[in-house]
Amino acid sequence: MLIGPLKRQRGTRLSTPIQFDPAKFDRALAVRGLDLGTLASLAELNRSTISRARRGKKIRRQTLQKLARTFADVPPLAGVEDLLA
């Protein structure tokens, strides 16, 4: 799972905020051969938004949806998964 556990803050709904697991995010990028700039372009997001998500910072649901669509549209490169530790 690419998303880490949701953290609930007092006075907020459980559905927000959303945070990625940084190690899993990096792995998802690596197996697809993507860098942050390319992902930002494909997802139609600012590079700073991608960087925040990659560091496990809070992101909005709309950002999650764009990233999920992009990761689904870009398949993993053949054989790369076996090379990653």
Phi, psi for residue 48 in degrees, rounded to 5: -65, -35
Q: How far apart are CA 79 and CA 2, in angstroms?
A: 20
Tens of pLDDT, residues 27-45? 999 999 999 999 999 999 9
Average per-residue pLDDT for the chain: 83
pLDDT at 3: 52
Of 60, 66, 49, the closest CA to residue 16 belongs to 60
Query: What domains are there in the chain, each with its CATH number?
Result: 22-74 (1.10.260)
Do 42 and 70 form a contact (C-beta atoms < 8 A)?
yes
Q: How far apart are CA 4 and CA 19, in angstroms?
A: 6
pTM to 2 decimal places: 0.74
Least confident of 1-10, 28-37, 47-56, 63-72: 1-10
More confident: 4 or 73: 73
